[in-house]
Structure 1
Amino acid sequence: MMRQALVVGGGIGGLAAALSASRAGWDVRLYERAPAFSEVGAGVQLGPNVVRVLHGWGLEAELARVAAFPDRLQVRDALSGQALGVLPLGARAVQVYGAPYATIARADLHGLLLGALQARSNLWLNLSSAVARFTDSGSVVTIKTTEGLEVEGDALIGADGLWSRVREQLLNDGLPRVTGHLAYRAMLPQASLPERLRSQQVTAWLGPRLHVVQYPVRGGDWLNVVAIVHGQVERDLQSWDHAAHAAGLQAALAHTAAPLRELIDAVTACGDAPVDDGAAVGWRLWPLCDRPPMRGAYQQAQGRVALLGDAAHPMRPYLAQGAGMAIEDAAELGRALGLAQDPAFEVPALLQRYALRRWQRNARVQARSLRNGQIFHADGALRLARNASLLVLGEKLLDLPWLYGDQPALA
């Protein structure tokens, strides 16, 4: 008997979950509240741990066409401009971890997954379909949309993001917490920048109560820049994406090194000017929210309902693994659902297996992201100690075998 998975959410996590479940032999119905599939944001870093998953799904060629593959990651002090440490990527990542380190526009990653889904025959995509609630009877799970449509399935996957309605009903654990950090993001053609500001590497600038990350996307033709500073906004947080005035960002970075200020000023100027294809992206502002690190498998799945990605474990972006953990979730979900062909496995047991395999890793990444934020934004003696450590042990500190390497099999 063919099993049916209901996936709520059409972002990167939802599309990855739908693709993985479909590859596991399940019929999949995906419900997205927006009238069209799209992805806001700028760029995403994909470590070798994530690229291995995409390659395993047969997407290596598609990824190679739209991503960039930086040759190294460099860390610099945002105040002095001093180079602190370097981690070789490129061929070294492939040699050590079996896959490259990639950087990609969010829209390109979303489009890559959507294209893979549209090629499958056991999957149905439903737009303008907001899910209001669900009922888990024990034998089936039923969703009801805001339009009154009811659909039954064998499993429900809540991949509906930070403000997840599925999580709200499943866990009833309140709203995400406001971090007090603001992310300014921009993406633009490198050709629109002065040549000295163009780059094919990842560069992280670390400063007191701020940091900036830049890296190539779209085959290296575009540059993505993310600046995170401390601050608050008074607007509706659930709107998520806001047009930003660069004056606030420029003021926050006024005391930083001249090369960093020059980059920010150039991105601001380019964002205000049209380019040939009209696709330049000016600064956008995201107030960052998260949740504490996961405390148990019950936060990832209960009964016939599972959570995935930001619905389960929203995290701060200081380890560049938010999208990566959603894709890893999806891969593990697919492995669990693939066991459904054996009648000895009931669906709740499969989802519990998925949760047990994922929650501790997600919690570790959440906790490490919190810690990195404190280190990145350090001031005073802690900043000096950080810089000294990076100067001596840069590659060793920046490499993350526990994250990028193969994960141990669990019983």
Structure 2
Amino acid sequence: MAHPHQLLVAGGGIGGLAAALACARQGWQVRVFERAAAFSEVGAGVQLGPNVVRVLQAWGLDVALQAVAAFPARLRVRDAASGRQLATLDLAAMPTRYGAPYATIHRADLLALLHGAVQQRDDIALALDRRVQGFDDDGHQVRMQTHHGDGRAAEPVAGDALLGADGLWSSVRTQLLGDGPPRLTGHLAYRALLPQAALPAALRSAEVTAWLGPRLHLVSYPVRGGEALNVVAFVHGLPPGGKRGATPDALADWDHATNAADLQAAMASCCAPLQDLVRAVPAWRLWVLADRPPLHAATQQASGRVALLGDAAHPMRPYLAQGAGMAIEDAEALGHALRQADTEVPARLARYALERWQRNARVQARALRNGRIFHATGPLRWGRNLSLRLLGERLLDMPWLYGPQQRGR
């Protein structure tokens, strides 16, 4: 009997654990190497469209998701300056329309859900405190070098394929593509998580609300079964101490404590209800947003016996709420590609890349476009508001994104 193929995964975040689960389900042995000393996820909320929830359901995680997520019934879009409602989208109709609900979840809860599923399998091994230093693909196997957290070199490990799921600052991508660091977007994200019980009744919400303003927008939605409210505000600006035109190399540790007064000043022209919400947040975490241009070829997502997934392959601006979603979709597609037993491993990875790169590029491009629309000023802002009032749900719903995908395209 042939031995199972071995997949090495660099990165134990949402994408890495999702890939480990998807590929183990297809008969591969998986070894995950995570540079952190414990599985944990910074940040706050994640939105999961029905395209992503369907994947989690197919992996048998529906009950676990129901236990920790919230399922908002509506998306409401409002003008940040006037407070006026511009449009709504009926999220409660998603199960009927697309076969799965729209979920909102804390990042840590999503990571824990995936980690729990991975731990139940004996064909997945997890190694913590292991930083990937490099790899060698000789055409027959991949050998990966890692270091322990204290700097000691670990024994090299060999596998049939290597997956770089090590995020925006991927060392696997650096060696595979050599295309330099990601780029600064000129946007900052302020994030907070609030217990709903501690908020005034007028600020509590069971919906997704997007407030669109000149050069900024804010999104809020429930997580943890509705017990907490995730709030994230996006504004144009440079990082603390940053200079225009600076490269993002120094921003690898990109989660910073910041002062609530900074955001309050940036949103001083917004309507009273929105300012009330901003003032209700005692402390924010600041992210300096960086990304890469949309993918332009399948070879950017796989080459030889090495492939990339999630932010390592296609980091995107968070204006379509699909960053984690595309990583989970990648994982499912990778699992399906790797199960093709009659095909050499490099060809399986090439098939994975061919299936994924154009969809990922489209999502990256749409997220860029959304950022321009959300933050519009002048006549473009007036046109946006009018279009939303007239067309509403027809603009907000996205069958191309939320609907089932035809495999192999």
Please report the TM-score for the alignment, with normalisation by the length of structure 2.
Answer: 0.95
- In 1, distance between residues paired with 2:292 and 2:361? 10
- Which residue of the other structure, out of 37, 54, 57, is the alignment partner of 1:35? 37
Provide Cα deviations, 1:266-295, integer angstroms capped at 9, x if missing partner.
Answer: 123xxxxxxxxxxxxx31000000000000
Q: Is the 8 A contact 1:193 1:267 kept in 2?
A: no
CA shift, 1:409, in A, is: 2.9
Aligned to 1:295: 296
Q: Is the 8 A contact 2:204 2:229 kept in 1?
A: yes
Matched residue SS, 2:130: coil
CA shift, 1:410, in A, is: 2.3
Provide Cα deviations, 1:88-128, integer angstroms capped at 9, x if missing partner.
Answer: 002x1000000000000000000000000000010100001
Residue 145 of structure 1 pairs with residue 146 of structure 2: yes
- In 1, distance between residues paired with 2:254 and 2:164? 19
- Which residue of the other structure, out of 355, 366, 369, is the alignment partner of 2:367? 369
Q: Which amino acid aligns with 2:9?
A: V
- Which residue of the other structure, out of 243, 257, 260, is the alignment partner of 1:246? 260
Alignment RMSD: 0.8
- Which residue of the other structure, out of 189, 197, 200, is the alignment partner of 2:195? 189
- In 1, distance between residues paired with 2:333 and 2:389? 38
Please report the TM-score for the alignment, with normalisation by the length of structure 1.
Answer: 0.95
- In 1, distance between residues paired with 2:35 and 2:407? 36
Matched residue SS, 2:118: helix
Aligned to 2:18: 16
Q: Is the 8 A contact 2:146 2:155 kept in 1?
A: yes
- In 1, distance between residues paired with 2:140 and 2:408? 27
Q: Which amino acid aligns with 1:202?
A: V
Aligned to 1:331: 332
Q: Which amino acid aligns with 1:108?
A: D
Q: Is the 8 A contact 2:18 2:328 kept in 1?
A: yes
Aligned to 1:173: 179
CA shift, 1:240, in A, is: 1.5
Provide Cα deviations, 1:337-383, integer angstroms capped at 9, x if missing partner.
Answer: 112xx2x3100000000000000000000000000000000010000
- In 2, distance between residues paired with 1:410 and 1:13? 21
Q: Which amino acid aligns with 1:120?
A: R
- In 1, distance between residues paired with 2:408 and 2:316? 24
Q: Is the 8 A contact 2:215 2:375 kept in 1?
A: yes
Provide Cα deviations, 1:16-72, integer angstroms capped at 9, x if missing partner.
Answer: 011111111111000001111100000000000000000000000000000000000
Aligned to 1:263: 277
Q: Which amino acid aligns with 1:246?
A: A
CA shift, 1:313, in A, is: 0.2
CA shift, 1:148, in A, is: 3.5
Identity of aligned residues (%): 66
Provide Cα deviations, 1:279-321, integer angstroms capped at 9, x if missing partner.
Answer: xxx3100000000000000000000000000000000000000
Provide Cα deviations, 1:323-342, integer angstroms capped at 9, x if missing partner.
Answer: 00000000000101112xx2
Alignment of 1:268-279 (within 5 A): 268=282
Residue 315 of structure 1 pairs with residue 316 of structure 2: yes
Residue 125 of structure 1 pairs with residue 131 of structure 2: no
Aligned to 1:77: 79
Q: Which amino acid aligns with 1:218?
A: R
Matched residue SS, 1:239: coil
Q: Is the 8 A contact 1:86 1:395 kept in 2?
A: yes
CA shift, 1:149, in A, is: 1.8
- In 2, distance between residues paired with 1:108 and 1:410? 31
- In 2, distance between residues paired with 1:58 and 1:46? 16
Aligned to 2:247: none
Aligned to 1:164: 170
Matched residue SS, 2:280: helix
- In 1, distance between residues paired with 2:261 and 2:171? 35
Unaligned 5+ runs, structure 2: 148-152, 243-249
Q: Is the 8 A contact 1:244 1:285 kept in 2?
A: yes
- In 1, distance between residues paired with 2:119 and 2:254? 28
Q: Which amino acid aligns with 1:14?
A: G
Aligned to 2:56: 54
Unaligned 5+ runs, structure 1: 269-281
Alignment of 1:220-235 (within 5 A): 220-233=226-239, 234=241
Paired residues in the alignment total 394
Q: Which amino acid aligns with 2:315?
A: P
CA shift, 1:408, in A, is: 2.0
- Which residue of the other structure, out of 375, 389, 399, is the alignment partner of 2:387? 389
CA shift, 1:203, in A, is: 0.2
CA shift, 1:188, in A, is: 1.5
Q: Which amino acid aligns with 2:388?
A: L
Q: Which amino acid aligns with 1:360?
A: Q
CA shift, 1:10, in A, is: 0.8
Aligned to 1:273: none
Matched residue SS, 2:366: helix
Q: Which amino acid aligns with 1:215?
A: Y
Q: Is the 8 A contact 1:184 1:286 kept in 2?
A: yes
Aligned to 2:204: 198
